[in-house]
Every structure is written in structure tokens, then in C-alpha cells.
Structure 1
Amino acid sequence: MSRTILLTGATGTVSTALIAELAESDVDLRALVLDESEADGLLARGVKPYVGDLEDPRTLTPAFEGAQDLWLLTPNSPRAPENHMNALWAARRAGVERVVRMSAIGAAHDAPNRSGRLHALSDREIENSGMRWTILHPHWFMQNLLNEAGDIAATGTFSLNLAAARLAMIDARDIAASAARVLLDDPGRHHGKAYTLSGPRLLSMEEVAEHLGTVLGKPVEYRAVSDETKRATLRGYGVPPWIVDMLEEYAQAYASGWGQYSTDTVAELLGRPPRDFTDFARDHAEAFGA
């Protein structure tokens, strides 16, 4: 008998890749969406949408009833723990058996950023939920660089406030593949595990620029900028203040060496190495101006 998986954050980068990973599996997929306008794209991919809002627990019951597994991804905001609490409450009331949660890199009560500390609250909550659970802690996404693709395509440069930080960045498709592996395995196999997911090697942004240049066949330059310069850029794009602060706090932590580590977890889960940055660059070369 196939299991029913409910996806939250269903239209985001990782969840979109997760739907692709699960598409050929013997599972019934459903998704919680905030607005009916998001439904058509999910229906076309074989996912049944349910309209509901994690900020309003009264709207969640229909989506959760009859689901055995929950992929729990909450948006980055000061209300993330509340969203998480509402989802877990709905899951417990509906009899959901297992929750696979996407947390954040370095989530801990003493994390050097508010996002990491908020994620730690939700991690502890899920550990004491009474349900089977698995937590994923992914490193910095390679896909974050797609935010810089327009500048790279137009000028051959990109600017970040990461100084000389070296990161074992991970392709979001490997996060999704790891999540799919957990969701498709026996519900007890990964219970009580927290997996830290990274790419295969540490890279600085200068090295990222070199690899992009090789793939694109043109010079690419990384320009390290100050926090204030990046803050002004993000404000100019209309990024909400809380998100601007969050990104700055992460950048400061990375610049201090906080993210300078890698793990073998993706290879252990998938039986293959995680994608290298050059794989990502080739796959997205058109976006970067090839």
C-alpha cells in the first residue's frame, strides 16, 4: 500500500526538486499551498494541492488528514517556530507517523544568527513530538548563486559580503535526493537522526568565480563587498528587513570560518558523491550567460 506524503514549502527550490525525485515512486503526493494560484503547477506534476496557511492552524486539517509522512519546511521569518508548531500540532491530531524536517546549517541555541537559533527551537520541538522524525541540516545552497546570475551574465562579476569564506556548498538537488531517500525508506530506519548535508569540497568565492569562468569560457570576477554595501543592494531589491538582517548574520558567520567543514552524509545516504560545483555550473550555464 502506497504512503501519502504531505509537502510544505512545496513551491520552493528544495521541495520542487523533491517532487521530481519522488515522481516515479509509489507514493501519493499532496502539498500545502497558501494560495489557489499555486495549485495548477502542482496538479500538472501529479501533486494534489490543499490550500492552507501555517499561520492559521484552523486551515490545516484537510491537508493533514490521511497523510502518513510530512515533509516540513517552513519559511524564514520570525514566525517560523509558530508555523512549525502549527504544522506539528496538525500532524499529531491527524495521526501522521513521520516528519522529515529541513532545518538549517548550524542550528543551535548558541548559533551566531537568529535564524539558526529559531531553527534550534523547532528542532527540539520535533524531537519531543512523539512522532518518528528526521532532521536535515543543509549547508549553503549552490542555487544561492543564481541570485547573482544576472550580474555574471551582464558584467562577468558578482558581489557578496562573504570575504574569503570557504564553504562546502551543496546543490539543492542533492538535498532533495537525500530527503527522498529518507522518505522512501522504512519509517524506522532514519528515526532520531539529524543529518548534516554538504557538498564534496570547500570552495571560496574566488574559486567559484574561476570555475564559472572555465565553464562559461570567459573571465568571471568575485568582488568582496562590505555588509553595508550588500545591505543597500538587498534593500534596493525590496528584500524584507528581517531577511536582510538574517543574510547579513549568516555572511558574518561564514566570513569568520563558521561554515568551513564538509561531511560524507550525502554519499552515505545516496550511494554516490554529491554534485560538485562544476556540475552545477554546467547545468546552469545558460542562466550565467553561456
Structure 2
Amino acid sequence: MTTPSGAKRDLRPAGCGGDGCSARDPWPLHHVRHRTVFCRLCTSCVLRYHPGSFCVSCFDLLLDGGGASPVVRCSRCSSIAHSACVLEAAPSFVCPSCSDAGGSSSYFSLGEEKSIDLKSAKVLLAAAKLAAASMGRVAACTRADAERKTKEAVVARKRAREALEKVLLLSQSEKEKKNRVADQIAAPSPQPQVVDSKKKMPKLSSTVAAMVGQKRVQNRERDRWMRFQEPIGMGQTLVQGTDKNKWRGMKEESSKVLKVGMLRRKKLLLLADCGPVVSDRLKVNILTIKCSMLQRISHVLYSCFSDGTNCAAVNASP
């Protein structure tokens, strides 16, 4: 859909945008920012929007140092003029705009030929400088605003990057935590062993412990029954009145009994090394042998003493 030319003129008017301006097709138009609003004004409207910035008689800008000389203010508005340029007294000074308030006064009026004289050139130069200063201030403010926004954008970008890195680290840690939990569920970790400060002996296996216990029992039984290998001391004193040959025979008989008993005990002790199954039977046999040995020894001693007594009685008889 094509846009008509009239709509374009409405969107961007070609005339002056000043309030109460009656100029028709003004030339040139200046870009000025007035009260935070961008406007396209003619030369006269630019000067009317900046009444205290130039001399209304010579059109010298006071911003360039033209205010060093004394000035006179208008009694009706804020316009100023150099004292040297004004012929009237200061209290009764009225600017051209206020003096021709009812008429259509203009600082920059061109004829049909649009010729520019010295006064028009000064007016155009003053308006152009004021417009340039206004747009320079706008450019400085815009530049400062752009730099501020650039710094804010850099800070925001840095914060966004840090936030993304933090989110990435959190996601990785959460993923690792889930993996550890899954691994623990799949293969439970062994219970931690409590290490005692004191050194403990290493535990033996059940087979080795049984063999060690069996060996200790066998050694204890051997030490216990080896005591019977010691020879029993016999009295060396002879009974009065006994025969030496008979006493020698009884002594040989008792030593023979001891030797037989010792040989039997050795055989039994050798059999005891075969295992704990035979040890109970060996104990019974050893006790039986011990009783029989004691019985025979006591019988020999009894017969010895009884014979000695009889011999003594026979020798004592007449």
C-alpha cells in the first residue's frame, strides 16, 4: 500500500514548529532541543526561544564573551542589550519584540528576492550558533547516557556470565551427586573399619586355630605325664637282720617294674600325638598303669618290710 504525499507532509511538516509563528515556507530551519523536545524552528523563533543569550541590537552572542560590556534588560521580558547599543535610558528600554507585540515582527525577514544583508547575516549567524550549542549539549548528554548504558551493559553481561557459570557448576555438581547415589545403590560401599590405637594380633583362620589348640593340649598332656618318667627313690637303709642277697633281689624286682611301667608310658605318650580322639582312652590307660605300678611297688615294699621283720625276729631268737 502506497503512502500519499499528503500523509508524508503531515508526518514531517516543512514549516516552522514554533508557537505563534506566522512565517510561510521559512528558510532555513534549525534543529533545536527546547524543553526536552526536538523542534525545527526558523531563525526568528530560535532567537525568540533564547531571549537572554544575545544582544537584540547588534546580535552578538553573550555566550562568546560578549557580556563583558554593561548590558541593559528589557522592562517587559528577559531580553538584554548592550548599553552602548541602546540610546534610551535603562529603565525605559523595551526590546523590539515587546514594542511590536501586536504586529508580526521578525528578526530575520527576507524579501521576495531572498537577499541577505549584513543585519540578516548577523541574525542568521546568531541563530545558527544557538542551534549548534543546543545540539552540542544534546550530543554531550546523549554521549554520556550512551557511555552510562554501555557500562551498565558490561556489568550486566558480566553478571549474566557469572550467573551462567554458577548455574553450570550447580548442574554439574547435581549430576555428580546423582551419579554417586546411583553408584552407591548399585554397589554399596563396605563399612568403615575402626582402627584401634593398640596393635592387635592378626586373627588366625579356623583351621590354624584348631591346630594350634590341639598342639597346646598335646603339649600340656605330655608335660603332665612326663613327670611319671622320674624314678621313684627307694630307701637305701637296710633293715637290721635282713639278708643282703634277698634285699638285692627285691631291689632288682622293683627296678624292673619301674622300667616296664616307663616303657608303657612312653608308648602311650607316642600314641597321644596321633590326635585328641585317642587322648581320652590314653588317660584311662595311663591311670590304670599308674595304679597297677603303685600296687606292685607297694606289694614289693610290703613284702620287703615283712621279710626284714621276720628275719630280724629269727636272728633274735636263740
| Same fold? TM cut 0.5 | no
Q: TM-score, normalised by structure 1?
A: 0.20
Structure with the higher fraction of residues in helix conformation? 2
Q: Name which one, 1 or 2, has greater alpha-carbon Rg.
A: 2
Q: TM-score, normalised by structure 2?
A: 0.18
Q: Which has the higher contact order (CA 8 A, sep 6+)?
A: 1
